[in-house]
Amino acid sequence: MPGIRRVENKITAALKDLTMIIYNVTNKVDASIATAWLQWLKEEHITDIINTGCFTQAVILQLMEVDDSEGPTYAVQYMAESKALYNLYIEKFAPVMRQKAMEKWGNKFIAFRSVMQVVS
């Protein structure tokens, strides 16, 4: 039954979009700015990102068992209720947020990003 299959496909696609997405940003921070950077992250940057409406919450994690001789490594995980909200953030807000961070901290940090889907 082609009509039923089409409806099933649309429902499956809609449910897939409602799956929780985690946008993970891992940052290696130079020791010379580590304290100020973490304070900025907690008091300004995460708030700005949450205020876009694309994410419901964020958690900051410090990586363990890594070489911290040049500074700590943190992962920030932002939770989005759908892939569409994550995509909206990437398209509309991410360039400005990244630029603000670069203007403030320059080459004193390195960030890499990954996107994950919550399975259970």
CATH number at residue 71: 3.30.70.100
List, for residues 66-81, the tens digit of each pLDDT value: 888 899 999 999 999 9
Give the count of domains, the chain.
1
Residue 7 lies in a domain: no
Residue 42 lies in a domain: yes
What is the domain extent for residue 67?
A: 19-117
List, for residues 15-68, the tens digit of each pLDDT value: 555 689 999 999 999 999 999 999 999 999 999 999 999 999 999 999 999 888
3-state secondary structure of 107: coil
Residue 23 lies in a domain: yes
Residue 5 lies in a domain: no
pLDDT-based confidence at 14, cuts 50/70/90? low
- What is the chain's alpha carbon radius of gyration, rounded to the nearest angstrom? 18
The residue assigned the tokens 């947020």 is: 97
42: how many CB neighbours lie within 10 A of its CB?
A: 13
Task: Give the CA distances from residue 52 to residues 7, 33, 88, 108, in Å, rounded to whole numbers and listed in that order.
Answer: 33, 26, 9, 26
Residue 46 lies in a domain: yes
Residue 12 lies in a domain: no
